Structure 1
Amino acid sequence: TIRIFQNFQKIRMVFFKDRDLCHSLLFALFTLGTLLGNGAYLVHLGQTPLIISHRGVDAKNGVQNTIPALRKTAQAKPNYIEIDIQETKDHKFVVMHDENLKQLADLDTSPQELTLAQLTALTVHENGHQAKIPSFDEYLSVAKQYEQKLLVEIKTTKRDSKNMLKNFFDTYKTTLKQNDHELQSLDYKVITSAKKYAPTLNAYYILPYNFIFPQTPANGYTMEKTTLNDSFVTQAKLSFKKVYSWTVNSEEDLKKAAFLDVDGIITDNVTEARWVYHNFNANTSYANRLLDAVILLPE
């Protein structure tokens, strides 16, 4: 012990006599730590986020939220297919994004004003394709055939029945859980209802804008890509929440999402996203990662 103390005193005297040497050593240690930290950060960010098909399509291969598009898109093997559901006049559920059928079915009415039978008899048109509007039950059945997991967005309106959410979870919570499907919604009531009626289901709260980091019972957040930043992602991870980014389509945005370390991206182009991430992961040199990080994340 005495010898160790004597050696420590000698080292201390050297540092006090040569302050430049001391400063150089401290700077070298700081630089080494920074390089190792950045290296680990950049290598870790080579991991591909989950790829989620937006409204069940891949590069306009069908009408959004329909069965023919589901069958085609499932072959591209996205991690999830994101769809939208709404309640019908007879308290069933149909796969449909728009609150008005004018754009896709040329019918000026809402899903809540028609029965499920009336809705599923309608033909919708988009991008040179046509298909029937599917019921949620039919969509679930076909997804199961392909072992395709779904990210189900529950859309709510003022025309919904009083017990809509309770009826939904009573009917579907077991099926959703058994097939590893997830939920998301812009309506905070959906998140609280999910945690009340189906607490083991993953539910994501959709945030169009990044103002503050919310404290909610949601398992994670789906945020529009233009306001999503590394500060939000960091806060989410510290809170053990996941982050999905939407709608991420360009090569630049796909790479930026990887550097932000999001858990998943919602995209209109599943096949292209797979190609971008395949090439991105193959290009793992530190120099290239550093260059991409500087270009894509200038802030």
Structure 2
Amino acid sequence: MLTIEWTLEEGWQKPHIQPFGNLSIHPGCSSLHYAVQLFEGMKAYRGPDNKVRLFRPLINMKRMLKSAHRACLPRFDGVELLECIRKLVKVDQDWVPHSDSASLYIRPTLLGTEPTLGVKKPSKALLFVILSPVGPYFSTGAKPVSLWADSKYIRAWRGGTGDCKMGGNYGASIYAQYEAVDYGCQQVLWLYGDDQQITEVGTMNLFLYWINEKEEEELATPPLDGIILPGVTRQSILELTRKWGEFKVSERYLTMADLRQALEENRVKEMFGSGTACVVSPVGRILYQGENLHIPCEGSFPPLASRLLKELTDIQYGRTPSDWSCIV
């Protein structure tokens, strides 16, 4: 694991790569009481050439810096932190699976460690990075997920921290997740506002592939307006599909009324979530106001989702050369 301490008086200390072990922190530190903390999620992939690669890691560093600013935690040099992470992965490279469906998960975390019960900017902090091998996201085969959409729970709001990767955003979502399971669904489709805007799926960004109101073939995803996490996979999908130039690609508001009408008029082609864990996860059903809205799925993985999954994983595992890859 990697650990780097920071103090207001002395700044960042020397990074240490050390054996994995428990942390020793004061029980009064602000991260335990007021969630003054943040994290990132990224992966290392072993390609058929046996080289280990990271996927667009500088985007993760940029997002982590944004989260640190919002949490009043110390700024850092993203390029230098990435170099520390590369060295850590290199030390533990034997843990990167020899598989084209598994990877090494990387979890950078930054938390306030000042021992005080005062609600204030911490004068001490700890940045650490831990690693864990992970298997395929779809361990029993890729199947479309079911979603529960209900506006009584809100994941994020404008002016809040929904566009930052803070632990409090995720801990507060667990209750709704279990209610979704009680309704026979696997994930929550988070809605926002009186018009019930579609925002995110569980911990994933959301995409709708449809024929829009102007009869245009369109891939749409909600805009980054402060309540959407700027996902690395989301950005990559937008850039890939815009490069294809085969259909309109938009960042636009979508409501449940838009979706319901489009389903009634047979204008929906696919819906899927995107994220580091799953890459692409098709949606097959949405439970909304007591009604099951069935999303078209050709087989277990519809065509566009399947194509995106292949193109992205080909880059991640080094089967397709790309400047998005960072060799460890």
**TM-score if structure 2 supplies the norm length?**
0.26
Higher Cα radius of gyration: 1
Hey, which of these two has a bigger chunk of strand by percent?
A: 2
**TM-score if structure 1 supplies the norm length?**
0.28
Hey, which of these two has a bigger chunk of helix by percent?
A: 1
